[in-house]
Amino acid sequence: MLLGGLALFAMALGMSVPLLLVGVSAGSLLPRAGAWMERVKQVFGMMLLGVAIWMVSPVLPGAIHMLLWAAWLLTAAALLGIFGPNTPQHSRTPVLARSTGFGLLAMAALLLIGAASGGQSVLQPLLHIRSAQAAGLPGAGAVAPTGLKFERIANVEALDAALAQAQQKGQTVMLDFYADWCVSCKEFESFTFSDPEVQKRLGPVRLLQANVTANNAADKALLKRFNLFGPPGIVFFDGAAQAKIVHKVVGYQNAADFLVSLSSAAIP
């Protein structure tokens, strides 16, 4: 109780003291209004739009998500003056602002190309193109694929059947819990499962995936079996007769940390 009361008191002081100082100063501490205020409004407006896109991203199709961020980047580039008329006033736009604007324009172009060609990832808009080249071009067999191929598991019964098959072959099994609205799951796909060393280590492993996007009764039963509240979660089973759980990953891990988890799961 004492700690909670002191925390609230400290927060109240932090919020009120600056206001009291501004009031006592009769406005002398406040910056003067000017053209810079327009930039402040633009910056905060773009921040609010970016947060809005980020908040709705888990429920949007990948292509729509990419198009929204492309529109955001184009708007930001326009506000930085790269689309302005060729006038002396426009030429006085800071070089740094124009350079940043052209960088944002290039990023928007990548997103538009990725969305138009069937991409799904904002962070790696051209990933699918590289994957197709690796799969279809002659001599591309040495190029590592850009993702892992999972076998979808819909319920507990399907999981038990897949584990039984893996036991007969002495295979180690990795069960990945995924959902379309899970941001960390998409980070796993983009940054961890695309790592060549991770793919190499998981080569002999049977890869299962439970898509719990719908969060229906079957999905809840799968999560409850492993005491998981939701994705992301990864469970490793050994290749012994009982398919014992040897390691569990809860939450996102980058490639380096995931390789450590693979070692903990006795995956060479």
pLDDT, one tens digit per residue, over 152-198 is: 999 999 999 999 998 888 899 999 999 988 889 988 988 899 899 99
Is the pLDDT at 201 greater than 90? The verdict is yes
Mean pLDDT of 78-93: 67
| Higher local confidence (pLDDT), 203 or 93 | 203
Domain boundaries, the chain: 40-83+95-143, 151-264
% residues pLDDT > 70 (the chain): 88
pTM of the model: 0.65
Asked if residue 232 lies in contact with residue 251, where contact means CB atoms within 8 angstroms, the answer is: yes
Q: How large is the angle between the packed helices 62-79 and 95-116, nearest 10 degrees?
A: 160
- Which CATH entry fits the domain spanning 151-264: 1.10.287.130, 3.40.50.150, 3.40.30.10, 3.40.640.10? 3.40.30.10
What pLDDT is recorded for position 255?
92
The pLDDT-based confidence of 228 (bands split at 50, 70, 90) is very high
